Structure 1
Amino acid sequence: MIDISSNQDTPPRIRRRQTLALALLVVTGVINYLDRATLAVANEYIRADLGLSLGQMGLLLSAFSWSYALCQLPVGALVDKIGPRWLLGMGLVIWSLAQAAGGLVSTFGWFVLARVVLGIGEAPQFPAAARVVSNWFPPRSRGTPTGIFNSASPLGVALAPLCLAPLIAATSWHWAFFVTGGMGLVAAVVWVALYRDPVRDQLTAEERAYLDAGQAAEEAPKAGLSSWGALFKHRATWGMLLGFSGSVYLNWVYLTWLPGYLRTERHMDLAYSGLAASIPFFCGFAGALIAGWASDRVAKLAASPVSGRRNAVVASMLGMVAFTIPAALVESNTVAVACISIVIFLANASSACSWSLATVVAPRSRIASLGAIQNFGGFLGGAMAPILTGYIAQTWSFVPALLTGAGIAFLGAMSYLFLVTRPIPEQD
């Protein structure tokens, strides 16, 4: 069993709070990604029903990412200022209503609008999660919990075709949106009812010492607009923004197009392609968990927490590049799915390490802010991935589309390697 605290001396009440917080983050994260993946699973049915081309479907698949990316910038600062409890709770309500509305639309324009609002609502999820981890875990023990909350992403995507494809086949694609939207509304109530931030005055001396290990013992100052903007003066911020863009671009090529790719390019039937599309994301689930645990061990041995966690990101991204090339070129469907599984394993390992990197590069008052800026860059890449993939596949085939993704991920890895070299100081 993975020790989420990486510390056998964790005070019992802190450990209970850690476990509850991570369980809630995993549940909300799974619902978050089920909602995102619903459109990919129902891709062919929606295209047939609404009469959409591959290029139009690419635009629809990307609509979520544009609003999600743009909202990362203010949301990160708001999480640092207001706290994760209410901001994530409000986000859950907004995105769940938007998801349910997706089942009611009958035109391309209204569907785009529903996906845009979905992106706005889902924006607080991961900045809030990064803040929760920084609130409840000391710096050198944040990799494992970061891996755990990141594991919700591939787990949600893996479950989507297994759960939603039979639902769509038995009813219609509309019900996939209604059911997942309802799940999110229930989760909103549970999150607000159960989650609380630590309050220093209510902690024992032992609990405060545990949470303060490796950092100053005072409360982190509240971040203002000027301190948020000052992050852009540091090259580490730009390295994380550009680097995550490359990582998420390649990940979202598979996230948005894998079911359609397996049916269109590799001619798999619906039942087999649903299973084949799930396998890589179960590997991604394992990748997030293993990478989070391993990055804590590497960070303790590295010259600094920044170099240890950054090097783990770079190595994972270069592996993504290396295995995407044979995934695009081999004739065997089995070998292709195996290579894609390794890519998704490494993509989620990279994501987990990227979020834990944010917690050691950022000053204490701006952890969610820097994580959100990194995520903003990531989802600029995520927004471009389905559009470029759709149009390249429509013009040529999916092979150059996958190779393009590999090239973009390589550039992202170099951004991390050469730009993210030291932590950002609290006072600029």
Structure 2
Amino acid sequence: MLRWWMIGLVMVGTILNYLTRSTLGVAAPVMLPDLGITEQQYSWITAAFQAGIMFQTVTGYVLDVIGLRYGLAIFAGAWSLISAAHSLAFNWPMLAALRGAMGLAEGTAQPGGLKVVAEWFPARERGFAGGVYNIGASLGSMLAPPLVAASIYYWSWHAAFIITGGLGFIWVVCWLLFYRPIAEHPRMRADERDYVLGGQERGVLTPVTAPRPSFWAIARRRNLWGIAVPRFLADPTWGTLTFWLPLYLAKERGFDLTQIAIFAWMPFVAADLGCLFGPAVAAWLNKRGVSIVNARRWAFTLGACMMTSLMFVGTVESAYAAIALLCLGGFAHQTLSVTCITMATDLFPSNEVGTVAGIAGTCANFGVLLFSLAVGGLVASVGYGPFFVALAVLDLVAAVWLWTVVKDPAKEATA
């Protein structure tokens, strides 16, 4: 059962990764007036983070080359330090520079987590394992509102960044102490190693013993873009919940800091459930004879259909009804997002997963960047309502793309 301890350690790292990136969004209603930052400038700050995290294409490849143990330790130490340095910011350009640097370092979360899933789990367990570590994204974002609000209440917004950044250094120490590759881990029993390696058959896919292809060879593959474009279309939802939800609640629904602390975490609790629901749907279909790739596509499509609930967030009169719809949106988004992310382990061998996840993550964060700039530039004139409608429509388009472009290796093998 060592593999589950390893994915648990990854989940804790993901919690802290998303906690630090969510700190700014929760602190924004207090921090922006204090520093004299406008909504337009705030959109540039969030865009800087997305620009930095788009370098997942590079960081994922770096993880493939230098390995997970030292690679994740270096990047996690970097984003923890940069997060704490946010406390020193005194204007929006400085804050934007820090966000860009932190985005670059934090972009290793998904490629690193997927590499652990690909290397430590047999194919039939990867969906659930991917859901487990992705719970960290929701938990980190969920912990941010009460923790950051309490830090601001008792100390200041500066203290919030120091506290959340400091937690990351503790994880780095634990990671270096406990993580080793599966072939080298001293506590890995022979029967568990055989179980994992015996379940990694990939049919027509390149064996993991083959030399790793070049970056450009991987980038030319159809299936890569089959999962990268849906992530480009779907991830603006997560960016909206993380960076814009507290401001939406403050400006459109009249919430104060205490109310934001009480309610802003709820969509992320629902998202935690979605992390498990998506893989469960795919596993249920797979047991009934649906290929694993098609099972994940059906789970994604179900999540996209549920995402249509976001269309009504801006029109309902009750703030609590809006929160309920946002919770359903968080659940639906993680249902489809985890499904799409995990699909990389079904379509590519483990020694390519970091690169694939990095390219797909770059596309995802480019989508968040464009959407965030659009919100910052237009929200003053059109409000938030049209953007919630757009999020629902984009996911439906993503589902169509996933069915159209991705080729199922299982079907190609029997053709």
Tell me the TM-score range normalised by the shorter chain: over 0.9
- Deviations along 1:121-147, whole A, 9 cap, x unmatched? 111111111111111110111111100
Residue equivalent to 1:196: 180
Structure 2 unpaired stretches of 5+: none
Out of 88, 102, 111, which is 2:95 matched to? Answer: 111
Is the contact made by 2:232 and 2:367 (CA closer than 8 Å) also made in structure 1? Answer: yes
In structure 2, what is the equivalent of residue 255 of structure 1? 242
Q: What residue in structure 2 maps to residue 19 of structure 1?
A: 4
Secondary structure of 1:329's match?
Answer: coil
Q: CA 1:49–1:205 in 2, change beyond 3 Å: closer, same or farther?
A: closer
Aligned residue identity for 2:151: L
| Aligned counterparts of 1:216 and 1:308: Cα–Cα separation in 2 | 16
Match of 1:220 among 208, 211, 234: 208
- What secondary structure, in the 3-state scheme, does the structure 2 residue paired with 1:42 have? helix
1:281 aligns with 2:268: yes
Whether 1:85 and 2:64 are equivalent positions in the alignment is no
Q: Within the alignment, does 1:64 sit opposite 2:52 as a pair?
A: no
Distance verdict in 2 for CA 1:203–1:256, change over 3 Å: same
Aligned to 1:7: none
**1:330 match: secondary structure:** coil
Aligned residues: 408
Offset of residue 18 of structure 1? 1.3
In structure 2, the CA distance between the partners of 1:219 and 1:258, relative to structure 1 (3 Å rule), is: same
What is aligned with 1:271? 258
Residue of structure 2 in register with 1:173 after alignment? 157
| Mapped partners of 2:262, 2:191: distance in 1 | 51
1:298 maps to a residue whose letter is L
TM-score relative to the length of structure 2: 0.92
Q: How far has the Cα of 1:337 moved from its partner?
A: 0.8
Query: Is 1:237–2:224 an aligned residue pair?
Result: yes
Residues 389-414 of structure 1: CA distance to partner in whole angstroms, max 9, x if unpaired? Answer: 12221122111222222233332222
The one of 379, 387, 394 equivalent to 2:373 is 387
Residue by residue over 1:313-372, the C-alpha shift from the partner in whole angstroms, topping out at 9 and shown as x without a partner, is: 22212321x111112221111211111100001111222111221110113431222222
Quickly say closer, same or farther: Cα 1:412–1:187, change in 2 above 3 A.
same
For the pair 1:29 / 2:14, whether they are aligned, the reply is yes
Please give the TM-score of this superposition, normalised by the length of structure 1: 0.90
Question: Counterparts of 1:313-332 in structure 2 under 5 Å?
Answer: 313-320=300-307, 322-332=308-318
1:141-198 residue CA offsets vs partner (Å, 9 max, x unmatched): 1111100000111111111001110111211111111111111111111111111111
Asked whether the 8 Å contact 1:246–1:413 carries over to 2, the reply is no
Distance in 1 separating the partners of 2:355 and 2:409: 14
Instruction: Report deviation, 1:416.
Output: 1.3
Once structures 1 and 2 are overlaid, which stretch shifts more, 244-253 or 77-86? 77-86
Distance in 1 between the 2:192 and 2:39 partners?
58
* Counterpart in the other structure of 2:115: 131
Contact conserved, 1:61 with 1:256, CA < 8 A, in 2? yes
Alpha-carbon shift at residue 214 of structure 1 (Å) = 5.0
Task: Give 1:203 shift.
Answer: 6.1
Contact residue 148 and residue 288 of structure 1 kept, 8 A:
yes
How many Å apart are 1:374 and its aligned residue? 1.6
Rounded to whole Å, the distance in 2 between the matches of 1:179 and 1:313 is 36
Q: CA RMSD in A?
A: 2.3
1:207 paired with 2:187, answer: no
The one-letter code sitting in structure 2 at the alignment partner of 1:404 is A
* 8 Å CA contact retained: 2:182, 2:193: no
